[in-house]
Chain A
C-alpha cells in the first residue's frame, strides 16, 4: 500500500516576488493524489509563482501529473524540482509535458525561475 504523503508548504522570496514552495515526500498515485491537489490548492494564494519540490518523490503516475497540470493558473506558473533521470523525470519526459512543467534539478534554480525577468518559468 502506498504510504501517506508528507507535504509541507512555505512562501519564499524570489527577488521581491513571493513564491509558494510545496515540498512532497512519498510515492504519488491514485490513492493519494487528492492530498497533493489539496496542498497545491492551499498553497499561498498571494504567491505569484509555485514551486513543487518533487525531489523526495520516488514514484509518481499520471494521477499526480494531472494534479500538477491542473494547478497551473494564468496568474501563477509552476516549476518543479525533479531529480534528473528519476522516475518522475521520466514520467514528465514520456508524457511530453516538459513544456508545461518546467523542471529544475535544484530548488534554488526552480525558485529563481520565478524572479522578475527570469523568463524560465514562462510558457
Chain B
C-alpha cells in the first residue's frame, strides 16, 4: 500500500459500494502505521468490516452510507465501522464464504458488534505502541 498523508484520526463517510473497501483500508492503514499498530491485521479487519457492510447491510434497499472512524489513544487503535442498513442477518450469497467476522475476531485485540434495525456497528481495538 502506498503511504498516505499524516493523520491523527480517521473519520470517513463512504457510499456502500465496493470501491469504498479499499479507500477505508488505505486511510486506516496509514493511521495504523503512524501509531505503531499492525498494519496488515488492521487492513484486513477494516476490509472485512467495510466489505460486510457493503454486501450485507443494504440488501433489498438502496445503497446507503458506511462510516469509518479510527483513533489511537493510550496504546490502543480503535476502529469503528458502522452503517445505517438492515442490521446483521445470515446471507448465503456472501462472497467471503462467511470468513469475515471470524477473521476480524482473530486479528483484533477486542471486537464488539452492535446490530439493530437501525444498522450495524463494529468496534475493533488493536495494539498501538506509538499511540
Q: Which residues does A use to contact B, with CB under 8 Å?
A: 1-2, 27, 29-33, 58-59, 61-63, 65-66, 69, 87, 90-91, 94-95
Which residue of chain A has its CB nearest to the CB of B23?
A1
Given A29-B51, A58-B1, A61-B47, A66 and B96 contact (CB-CB distance below 8 Å) = yes
- Chain A residues lying within 8 Å of B106, measured Cβ to Cβ, are 94
Interface size on B, residues (CB 8 A): 26
Chain B residues touching A, majority SS: helix
**Contact residues of B between 62 and 79, Cβ < 8 Å to A:** none
Indicate if B100 sits at the interface (CB-CB under 8 A): yes
Which residue of chain B has its CB nearest to the CB of A2?
B22
Given A2-B22, A30-B21, A59 and B43 contact (CB-CB distance below 8 Å) = yes
Q: Are A31 and B97 in contact (CB under 8 A)?
A: no
Q: Are B96 and A62 in contact (CB under 8 A)?
A: yes
With A2-B19, A66-B97 already in contact, 9 other A-B pairs whose C-beta atoms are closer than 8 Å: A29-B18, A29-B47, A61-B103, A62-B51, A62-B96, A62-B97, A65-B97, A95-B99, A95-B102
What per-residue 1/0 map shows which CB atoms of B92-131 lie under 8 Å from chain A?
0001110110110011000000000000000000000000
Q: Are B22 and A31 in contact (CB under 8 A)?
A: yes
